[in-house]
Amino acid sequence: MAHAIHLKNNKYRQWVKAGLGLGYLKEGLAPFCDDIGKQQHNDIINQIQQTKTPQPNVPCSTCQITTLQPDHVRVSKGICPLKQDKCNCCFTNNKKPCPNNVCGAIYDSIIQYHASIPPAPFWKNSDVQQWSTEPWQVCKCFINAPGYKDKISADDTDCTGLIHVIINNKYFHSHIGCNVTGPNNLFSKVRLYRNEIFHSSNMELEESKANSYIDDMIVVLQDSKELVHRQDAQQAVGKLQDLKKKGFIITTEDFEDILRQIKDEMAKVLKSTENAATKSEEEYEDLKNRLTELKAQMSEAEKKHLELKRKFTVLETEQKEEIKRLMVEDSPQQNQLEYEKVKSGMFYRI
């Protein structure tokens, strides 16, 4: 059963509120990203089947990103016609074409749909052997950050990853009303909020800042092209608007969700630290320091969580004793009335 928490520290309440906002933003974006990702995958496969000779054999589950030969051919040594840096077409040793005549074409499509200049798909997030059958494995190539290898669906991906897909995948741009690639565009601003929220070492936010974050999340979910017409997105808008109300309630389940988000952030930073070990010393040290901060933050959050659970245990024990007393001492009619009162009051503000 979820219990309600009234946190006395208002800045901490605002930090939790902003964290919950990220979760609601993800709820509103995930179904949209899932639908558009499936449409894109269907279009890619249909296009390949209509234009490739010999006829592609779908599915394929044998190719590897390190050895896959793309369909396109380099212009000259080290020059990719699709302008991708370090493209497989430029390093032909040990590269071999897809035996089913499909994966090389999907590789080309991913590059052509990538919005960055030069295009920079993040191949390590994806499993090539599932490209021909799993749309989200293609979408994950547009998440230009580590930590998403094990995410199997849009629903399994945090809001930062979903916004990466929207910004970096040109196929999604035709389904968004605003310009997602221009300077200071709203989607890019909101993408950074996760870092700003979870990089707060004291887990505190001013109310005005938390409300500003939530307002921008609402605007994203009310994008005029399609999101504003989607029921799931607008249900998430309603939840975000409720967060801004003065008497909003935080449940233990909400608090545990924040803990999960911090753990997920820690896992991503740890992965980045491992990847940066071979890069600059300054970048490596920055990531190590960030990981240390997150561990301390997680420890403090868990302490607060345990204290809240202890309080709930006391409250539940008191409620059970009161129910027993009522059932023994009062009349049958009064018993039922008081029982229903106590039962309906299982949510507390503390």
Instruction: Give the residue among 127, 111, 134, 114 at the shortest CA–CA distance from 42.
Output: 134
Res 183: pLDDT: 76
pLDDT digits (tens, 9 = 90+) for 221-243: 999 999 999 999 999 999 999 99
Res 344: pLDDT: 46
- Distance from C-alpha of 208 to C-alpha of 194, rounded to nearest angstrom: 17
Q: How many CA atoms lie within 13 A of 151 on its CB side?
A: 29
Tell me phi and psi for residue 72, to 5 degrees: -75, 160
Residue 345 CB-density burial (10 A; 0-12 exposed, 13-18 middle, 19+ buried): exposed
pLDDT digits (tens, 9 = 90+) for 18-27: 999 999 999 9
pLDDT digits (tens, 9 = 90+) for 126-152: 999 999 999 999 999 999 988 899 999
Q: Is the dihedral of CA 24, 166, 157, 296 positive or negative?
A: negative
pLDDT digits (tens, 9 = 90+) for 94-126: 899 999 999 999 999 999 999 999 999 999 999
- Lowest mean pLDDT, pick from 169-178, 247-256, 292-301: 292-301
Answer yes or no: is pLDDT of 176 > 60. Answer: yes
- Lowest mean pLDDT, pick from 194-208, 224-238, 268-282, 287-301: 268-282
Q: Does 289 or 15 have the greater pLDDT score? A: 15
> Which phi-psi region, left, alpha or beta, contains residue 309 (left: φ > 0; alpha: ψ -120 to 50)?
alpha
Res 259: pLDDT: 76
* pTM strictly above 0.85: no
For residue 110, give every residue at least 6 positions away whose Cβ sits within 8 Å of its Cβ, in sequence order, or none: 121, 138, 141, 142
Task: Compute the average pLDDT of residues 337-342.
Answer: 50
Answer yes or no: is pLDDT of 271 > 80. Answer: no
Res 316: pLDDT: 53
